[in-house]
Amino acid sequence: MKPANRIDRTTGTAPLLQCQGLHVALGGQPVLHGVDLDLASGWTAIVGPNGAGKSTLLRALAGLQPVSQGEVRLGGDPLRLMPAAQRARRLAWLAQGGQTSGELNVRETVQLGRIAQRGLLGALDADDARAVAHAMHETGCTAWASRPLHALSGGERQRVLLARVLATEAPLLLLDEPTTHLDAPHQVALARLFSRLARGTTAQGARRAVVTVLHDLPIALHADRVVVMQAGRVLAEGTPAEASLHRALEQVFDHAVQVRPGPQRAQVSLAIDED
């Protein structure tokens, strides 16, 4: 049976990205110990305590991290064998932290996303201008198009870097801590953007998958699917409404959080008062 034909039980679609038995070591230290994961279209949140291997997994899924065992497949094709330019058209990756250097302004930064489609030498055309304008509109940075990146606040820069990712128009978005530096209104706006992106299609009509590594559990519980990681393994996965997922979350976070079913969504609280 070809694994690509398996149907995801939460969203009912074929997986876009799969990994099987993924082992990754960093500096000789094993970080991922055999991760199996099928990612379908929709919004998936990866959560877990610090050092669980979330970012490493995301880098491996993006093809940026050499794996010592196992394989990542993108739409059935081995990611390892895929030319970098082809990979860039099919997936986009947002780095954690968002450190940048240089003096590019906001629009020039977002335009870098079009390298995925145009390469390093191709001239940008009206299609690229539309994608760039749309990405800037989605993240609300149109108004500062000509401001230099280093003159922005951390949260503003984070939105520009997210626009850079959206401008690639890749169907698979891998975002490492995209809500870092953002205030509450913008976190909410971003969460809405993710679910809207995950329900929509790209300009080319492909179904989108949004994968976010998140520390913020209340936001993560708005995703279509939650993957809980601990110590380099996937401990649990499921929809945010599943009680077993809630128990797994409480367990990996050492019962510092409590997850209870709410009227619409599961509610997360920090167990600060109980001692």
Partner 1 sequence: MTPFSTPVPANTPAAPDPQAQARNRLAWALLALVPLFALAGLATGTRGLSLEAFWADLQGEQAGLILGQIRAPRTLGAALVGALLGLGGALAQGLFRNPLADPYLLGSAAGAGLAVVLVLAGAALAGTTLSLATVAWLERVGLVLAAFAGALAGVALTLALAQGAVHTLRLLLAGVVVAVLLGALSDLVTVASPDALRGKQAFMLGSTSFLGWQAVALLAAGSALLTVLALRSARALDALTLGEDSAASLGVALPRMRLLLVVLLAGATALAVAHAGLVAFVGLVAPHLVRRHAPGAHAWLLGASAAMGAALLLAADVVSRAVIAPQELPVGVVTAVIGGVYLFVLLRRRGLG
Residues that bind partner 1 (CB under 8 A): 59, 62-64, 84-89, 91-93, 95, 99-105, 108-109, 112-113, 115-116, 119-121, 137-140, 142-143, 146, 148, 159, 161, 164, 168, 185-186, 188-189, 192-193
Cα torsion 230, 20, 224, 185: sign: positive
Q: Please, is 268 exposed, middle or buried when counting C-beta atoms within 10 Å of its C-beta (0-12, 13-18, 19+)? A: buried
How many angstroms separate the CA atoms of 174 and 18, rounded?
13
Do residues 177 and 169 touch, judged by C-beta distance below 8 A?
no
Q: What is the largest CA-CA distance in the chain?
A: 62
We find the least distance from the C-beta atom of residue 29 to partner 1, in angstroms, to be 19
Report the interhelical angle of 154-166 vs 126-139 (nearest 10°).
140
Q: Pick between residue 30 and residue 140 the one whose CB is nearest to partner 1.
A: 140
Q: How far is CA 214 from CA 191, 211, 222, 253, 267, in A?
A: 11, 9, 11, 13, 16
Phi, psi of 72, deg, nearest 5:
-110, 130
Length of the chain: 275
We find the least distance from the C-beta atom of residue 63 to partner 1, in angstroms, to be 8
Q: Pick between residue 91 and residue 228 the one whose CB is nearest to partner 1.
A: 91
We find the least distance from the C-beta atom of residue 252 to partner 1, in angstroms, to be 27
We find the least distance from the C-beta atom of residue 194 to partner 1, in angstroms, to be 12
Q: Pick between residue 162 and residue 229 the one whose CB is nearest to partner 1.
A: 162
Do residues 175 and 94 touch, judged by C-beta distance below 8 A?
yes
We find the least distance from the C-beta atom of residue 159 to partner 1, in angstroms, to be 8
We find the least distance from the C-beta atom of residue 113 to partner 1, in angstroms, to be 7
Do residues 171 and 86 touch, judged by C-beta distance below 8 A?
no
Q: Pick between residue 96 and residue 267 the one whose CB is nearest to partner 1.
A: 96
Cα torsion 189, 44, 97, 133: sign: negative
Indicate the pairing of strand 91-94 with strand 172-176. parallel
We find the least distance from the C-beta atom of residue 225 to partner 1, in angstroms, to be 23
